[in-house]
Chain A
Amino acid sequence: MEFRHCRLPNGLEIAAEIAPQALSLGLGYFVRTGSRDEAQEVNGVSHFLEHMVFKGTERRTAEQINRELDDLGSLANAYTSEELTVYHITVLPENQDRAVELLTDMMRPALRAEDVETERQVILEEIAMYDDQPPYGAIEHCMENFFNTHPLSQRILGTPESVQALTSEQLRDYHRQRYSPDNICLIATGCVDFDSLVEQAERLTSSWETANIHRQLHPPQVARKVQFLHRPSAAQQYLVELGLGPARTDPARYACRVLASMLGDESGSRMFWELVDNGLADTAAIFTQEFQECGLVGSFMICSPDDLEINWQRFRDVVHSCPMVPFQDQELVQAKNKIRSSLVLGSERPSDRLFSVGHAWTLLARNEPLDEVLDAYAKVTLDDVYAVFQNWSEQPRVIVVAGPRTEFEIEGIYP
C-alpha cells in the first residue's frame, strides 16, 4: 500500500492510498463545507447544493449525468455532514479517466432555476421521511440544545421553512465561496493511476477560482437542559443524551471509543447485559462523534414508555458504578479486539477505505494508515480509559426524550 499526495497551484489537494492489486477504484471529492459553515438564514444550503450537483452542469443535463454514472456501472452517491460534503464513486480501474472527468465537471453545477424548484420538492420529501422515522428528530433537537449558538447546532437538512426560502442566488453564492479549489480534496483509493489522476485534475480544474475561505473553530458553551418531544402515537420512548468528548485531533479519542464500546456497545457491553439482553430496553447504547474542535459522547436508549424512568436510572447506574466496579483487563481486550477486527473487516474494499483516507486528509491534513490506527487502539490502557471517563462524567449533559411521555415522573432523574 503506497500513499501519495500533491497540491495543485490552485490549492486543490490530491491524495491517494494505492493498492495495485485491488479490483476497483474509489474516487471522491471531499469539500470542506457542511451545515456548520452556513449562515442561519441559509440553513440547509450545503445539503441542497449536494443534491444540485447531480442536476446538471454547463455541458451536461441531469439526465446525462445519471446516464453516464450508470454507464460506468458505478456505485455513486453523496452525503453532507456538519463538516463535509462528499461526492464518491466506485469504478473499475480502466474507467478512472472517465470517472474523474465526470465527477470534476459535476463540481461546477449549472444551478438552473427550474431544477432548483424540482429538487426543493425532493428535499422537502426527504425531511418529511426523516420526521416519520424514530427517534423523530430527537438527535437534531439534542444537537440544537447542546450546541446552542455554536454553528454545530445547525441541522444538516435545514428546516422545511429554510429550504422553502432558499434561492438560486444563495446557492450560487455559497458555491462560489465554499467550492473553492483550496477548500476541496480529491481522494482516491484502490487501483489508482496517481500520475494520470494529478495530470487530469490539474487540466480540468485550471479555471477554478480560489476564494480563500476559512472555517472558524471555537469551543461550545454547554448548559444542562432537558426537552420532551411529544409524539403521542409512538409505541416506544426514545432518549438521547449528549456530553462533550474528545475532538477529532485529540489522542484521547481512541480511549474514548474503547470506553464507549466497553460501556455501551450493541453486544457484550455493560449496558447490553444490564438492559438489552434481558429485554428491558430495545436499545441502550453509547456512541462517540468527533468534530474538529470538540467531540460528543452520546447515550441512546429505546424502551417502553412505562419503563422510561426505571431504565434510565439503570443506565445511569451502569455509568456511575464504573469507579466502584472497576473495568477488568478482559473487558478492555474484548473491546479492543472488536474495534480492531471491525476496522480490518471494514477496510477490505477500496470504497470503504475512501472515507477513512478522505476524512483524515480533508479534516486532519494527514494520512492515517490502517495499521497506525490499529496500533493506536492496541496501546490504549485502562488508565487511559479511566482518564476519559473522569473527564466525560464531569461534563454537563443535554437530554431530549421523544415519544408519548411529556415529562420524567421522578425529579432526581434530571441531569
Chain B
Amino acid sequence: MNIIATDRSSLESDIHIEHFPNGLTLLYEHMPWLRSVAFTLLTGSGTVYEPAGLEGLAGVSLEMVQRGAGQLSSREIVERLDFLGVERSSTVTTCHSIFSAAMLPQSLPESLAIYGEIVQRPHLREDDLEDARRVAQQEVRAIQDDVAMRSSIELKRFRYQEPYGRSAQGRLEGIERIELNDVVNFVQEHFSAAGAILAVAGNYNWEQLRHEVVSGFGTWQSRIQPEDPAVIIRSGSQHIVEESAQTYLALAFRSVPYHHPEYYLSRGLLSILGDGMSSRLFSEVREKRGLVYAISANHFTLRDTGSILCFAGSTAGRARETLDVTLATISSLGEGIDPSELVRMKNRMKMNLVLEPESGMSRSAQMASDWYYLGRVQSPREILSEVEHLTCDALIEHFQRHPPTAWTLVSIGEEQVELPYGI
C-alpha cells in the first residue's frame, strides 16, 4: 500500500553553492520554516592521514585546535559558544575532522568567526599538549569498557587494516608518542581550505552568509592534499576473549560505494534486510527466535568501496545460532523479494526524505557528505525519484551482480564463533 504522498513543497530544495579560490566549498540550503540554523564543516584531517605509529594524532589535533585560536583563549572559545547557545560537537572520521553546530540564527555570524579562527589560527601551545593527550587517553579507556562499541572498532581495524582501519580514538601508545611538532605539522598540512566543505542549512540569508564566510574563511590557506592510499580489505574471522554477559558479533561484507550508479538498489536491499520492525533480520533473529535484543545493519562507505556492517549481541551459548540465522537471512535476499516488502521499504525511505527538512543539523551533514562523495548535493526530490524506480526484479538482479563477498567477522565475548567454511 503506497500511502506516503510525495507531492510536497518540502521536497524542493533551495540550494546555493559557491567555490572559493582557496578551495573551500560553501553549500547552503534555505529552510525558512525552521527557528534555527546549523552547519557542518569538514576538513581533510581524518585518521587515514596520521603518520604510522601516531594513531590518535587526528583526534589530539582536533582537540588542540579548539584550545585557543586567534584572539581567544581556550576558555573564551567555550564561554563564547556557550553564551551564544551553540549546540556543538567535533569528531574525527576516517577521512575528515567534522565540526557540527546548531544555533539560533542571530548566533551564526559570531560562531562562524570563531570556527574560522579555530581552523586557521589555532594557538597549539606546548602547555596544552599534555591535557589534550590525557583527554584522548580517557576516551581510549572508555571505549575499552564498552564491549558493543569495541566490536565495531575492532571490525574496522581487522577488515580495513592500516591505514583505513584506524579508530577515531587512536591507541594509547600512539597518543603517548605525539609531540607538539607532530600536531603542528598535521594541522598545517590537513586543516587546509583545499577540499574543505562548509554546509549550512536552516533559516538564514544567503547573501549575508556568503559575506560572513568570505570574512571568516576567505583568507584560509590552501595546501595540496595528499593522494588517498589504496583500500585493502581483509576477509576472515577474529575472536577477542572478554568476560561479558553477551558475545558481540560484528559482521561485514562487500557492497557498492555511495557514488555507485546502483547505490540505491543496494540501499533498498539493506532496508529490506535491516530497517524497521518488519525487516528480515529483526523478524528472523529477534521476533521469531528471541536471540537478541538489538540487531542492526548499515552501510559504510569510503570513496571507492562500500560495505554492509551488521551488529548483534547474544548471551553465551546463543551466539553461534545468531550468526547462522543472520547469514541465512542475508542470503535469503537472493531468493526473492515480496512486493509488500518493496512497498514498505519505499514508504520508510520516502518518510525519511519527507521529514529530513525538519532538521537543519541532519540536512547540513547530508549535504556535506553528498559533496564529498558525489561532488554535488542531491535534493530529496532526486533521491525520491531513485527510490520510486526500484522494483523487485531490479533488486534481485543487483543482488546477483553484487552478491555478498569478502566477509569479515569479529566476535568479542566468552563464546568463540567463526565464519563457516566456504564463506
Contact = CB atoms under 8 A, between A and B. Distances in A.
Interface in A82-99: 90-92, 94-95, 98
Interface in A116-152: 117-126, 128-129, 131-134
B315 A125 contact: yes
Interface in B14-41: 33-36
Interface string B262-296: 00000000000000111100110011111111100
B132 interface: yes
Interface stretch (A64-72, A103-111, A381-389): A64-72
Given A344-B35, A345-B87, A66 B276 contact: yes
Interface string A41-85: 000000000000010000000110111011111111000000000
A342 B103 CA distance: 8
Contacts of B86: 341
Contacts of B103: 341, 345
Contacts of A234: 145
A367 interface: no
A125 B292 contact: yes
B148 A129 contact: yes
Contact of A73 (B132, B294, B350): B350
Given A118-B290, A268-B78, A334-B83, A279 B359 contact: no
A54 B144 CA distance: 35
A286 to B, nearest CB: 16
Interface of A is mostly: helix
Contact of A67 (B245, B344, B355): B344
Contact of B82 (A23, A63, A75, A268): A268
Nearest to B1: A71
B123 interface: no
A126 B293 contact: yes
A129 B351 CA distance: 30
A8 B86 CA distance: 43
Interface string B117-159: 0000000000000111111111101101111100000000000
Interface string B342-364: 01100111111011011100000
B142 A348 contact: no
B122 to A, nearest CB: 16
Contacts of B290: 117-122, 125
A349 interface: yes
Interface residues of A, number: 70
Given A24-B355, A69-B278, A348-B358, A236 B83 contact: no
A233 interface: yes
Contacts of B288: 118
A71 B344 CA distance: 5
A279 B85 contact: no
Contacts of B85: 337-338, 340-342
B49 to A, nearest CB: 24
Contacts of B357: 23
B142 A70 contact: no
A127 B86 CA distance: 36
A282 interface: yes
A129 B75 contact: no
Nearest to B313: A129
Contacts of A303: 138
Contacts of B349: 73
Contacts of A166: none
Contact of A235 (B141, B286, B348): B141
Given A23-B358, A132-B147, A279-B138, A69 B277 contact: yes
A100 B283 CA distance: 24
A163 interface: no
B188 to A, nearest CB: 24
Contacts of A235: 141-142, 144-145
A244 interface: no
A133 B354 contact: no
Nearest to B242: A233
Q: Which of B75, B84, B135 has its CB near the most chain A CB atoms (within 10 A)?
A: B135
A233 B243 contact: yes
Given A72-B3, A333-B83, A128 B246 contact: yes
Given A334-B83, A344-B36, A348-B35, A302 B142 contact: yes
A133 B344 CA distance: 33
A297 B85 CA distance: 23
Interface in B296-341: 313-315, 340
A341 B104 contact: yes
A378 to B, nearest CB: 13
Interface residues of B, number: 78
A277 interface: yes
Contact of B104 (A63, A122, A344): A344
Given A67-B278, A67-B340, A277 B82 contact: no
B283 to A, nearest CB: 7
Contacts of B215: none
A356 to B, nearest CB: 15
B13 interface: no
B146 A124 contact: no
A21 interface: yes
A66 B284 CA distance: 13
Contact of B286 (A72, A122, A342): A122
A280 interface: yes
B4 interface: yes
B237 interface: no
A304 interface: yes
Nearest to A98: B3
Nearest to B149: A133
Contact of A71 (B78, B314, B343): B343
A278 interface: yes
A236 B145 contact: yes
A134 B133 contact: no
A349 B348 contact: no
Interface string B6-18: 0010100000000
Nearest to A77: B277
Contacts of A282: 138-139, 141-142
A236 B245 contact: no
Q: Which of B103, B242, B348 has its CB near the most chain A CB atoms (within 10 A)?
A: B348
Interface in A272-291: 272-273, 276-282
A239 to B, nearest CB: 14
A73 B6 CA distance: 12
A281 B138 CA distance: 7
Contacts of B142: 134, 235-236, 282, 302
Given A129-B246, A233-B243, A268-B82, 19 more contacts: A66-B283, A70-B347, A73-B348, A118-B288, A121-B289, A123-B293, A125-B291, A125-B293, A126-B293, A128-B245, A129-B245, A278-B135, A279-B131, A279-B136, A279-B137, A282-B139, A304-B138, A334-B79, A344-B36
13 contacts: A66-B283, A132-B147, A132-B244, A134-B146, A234-B145, A279-B134, A280-B134, A302-B142, A304-B138, A337-B85, A338-B85, A344-B35, A345-B103
